[in-house]
Amino acid sequence: MSTQSTDLPQATANTQMSFIVRKLRDRLLGMLGDIDECQLRINDAAGMMILGRCDAHAVEPLTARVDILDPSFYLRVATQGSIGAGEAYMDGLWRSDDLVALMRMLVRHRDRLDTLDSGSARVAGTLLKLWHALRRNSRQGSRRNIAAHYDLGNALFELFLSGDMMYSSAIYAYEGEALEDASWRKLDRVCRKLELSPTDHVLEIGTGWGGFAIHAARHYGCHVTTTTISREQYDLARARVADAGLSQHVEVVLQDYRDLDGHYDKLVSIEMVEAIGHQYLDRFFARIAELLKPHGAALLQAITIEDARYRKALREVDFIKRHIFPGSFIPCVSALSGALARSSDLRLVNLEDIGTSYAMTLQAWRQRFLARLPEVRALGYDERFIRMWEFYLAYCEAGFRERALGDVQMLLHRPRARTSPWLPAVDVSCAR
């Protein structure tokens, strides 16, 4: 979002900033002082500071302006680190003319965030780690964690998602493509990778609002059993299936994946593994293998973090874990493949990273969300929630644009699977 910034009155510099706050300000600006291929302008009661540089050789230079609207921002950052910076945005203590560009700068120089979260900020971090540990994804914990996000209200998600209500990365053929077409392409690519047919019984772990189940049943004629533990999603998914005239082909169940039974030809799980928790990965893949027939195949789509940063990320609580997805984690590819090998006879036959498309998906969601703020407010969400949601979407988009995050589709086979070795290409056209 671009916000029109205005200069703060210079005359208030001495009265608005205490000695301690000025010292905290100097410390923060010192951390950011020599960022390269970026230029950050910080405007506060003490004046304008220009940090970094964008020279002619910069591959993708970034510029952004930050207006500090309340000097208590510096105290928040000093005592609560990067989460404090996010909460200060929620509370209206600062604004930026390009929130995504600012986040990208911080991702590029993310080692500085480690410094930001040191010192007194570690005290708050320790308490947050304890809070996160108490939100383990046991059966009861999973229901509580899922409800905290997905039961915010279906009407909110309907304002910014595509018509198929897919809350996961689309697959774009080109920059600027319509979200509806890119989302359709993703769904169809999943179906074609699994070579779905009318004789298949497909299990989906993580219904969302029924987008995949409806697509698979409508276009491939298969029977789909899809499960969720969100009551809001369950109710709307069932209604959408009925409205599509597919109740004979799609069964929506309100059940934890650990309690499912039966055996299926194909299995799909789209960006649900992030809600499982690191300690449950082995059990998750073991359960997938148990639920698949010997000739079965599965398609897992998962957000991923760099392998080198995975262990550190497991120990940390960031803005997303604190305010958006409690109890969540982001796996790395080696953690997924390791759990797969330890706990099942599943074989990884293809891996595709669609992370660049996720940046475009998040951009579309953010633009659609901001374009419909009157309706968001009419649903009862206040300005603090709106700023939190904007920060969340920009934060994630920046991570994908800087390749700090990926999004992989993993095609998995049981030992007797005999499907085509040729995978479908990404079609530029989107024939529906």
Residue 396 designated active-site: yes
Q: What are the residues facing 410 on neighbouring strands? A: 300, 351
Tokens of 255: 């059940």
Q: Which long-range contacts (CB under 8 A, 24 or more apart) does 42-45 make?
A: 42/66, 42/68, 43/5, 43/7, 43/8, 43/67, 43/68, 44/8, 44/17, 44/68, 44/71, 45/8, 45/9, 45/10, 45/12, 45/13, 45/16, 45/17, 45/71
Nearest Cα to 46, choosing from 77, 67, 76, 75? Answer: 67
Strand partners, 48: 43
Cα 79 to Cα 125: distance, rounded to the nearest angstrom: 9
Q: How far apart are CA 322 and CA 303, in angstroms?
A: 18
Sheet holding 94-96, edge to edge: 47-53, 38-44, 62-68, 94-96
Handedness of CA 385, 389, 395, 398 (dihedral sign): negative
Looking at 191, 222, 396, 430, which residue is catalytic? 396
**Exposed, middle or buried by CB within 10 Å (0-12, 13-18, 19+), for 372?**
middle
The rounded distance, in Å, linking the Cα atoms of 185 and 191 is 10
Residue reference for tokens 């293809």:
350
- From CA 63, how far away is CA 40, in angstroms rounded? 6
Residue 226: beta bridge partners?
Answer: 204, 252
Those residues with Cβ within 8 angstroms of residue 16's Cβ, 6 or more apart along the chain or in another chain: 45, 71
Strands (E), 229-323: 250-254, 264-270, 292-305
Quote the CA–CA distance of 78 and 23 in Å, as a whole number: 10
Q: Phi first, then psi: what are they for 296, rounded to 5°?
A: -75, 165
**Catalytic amino acids?**
396
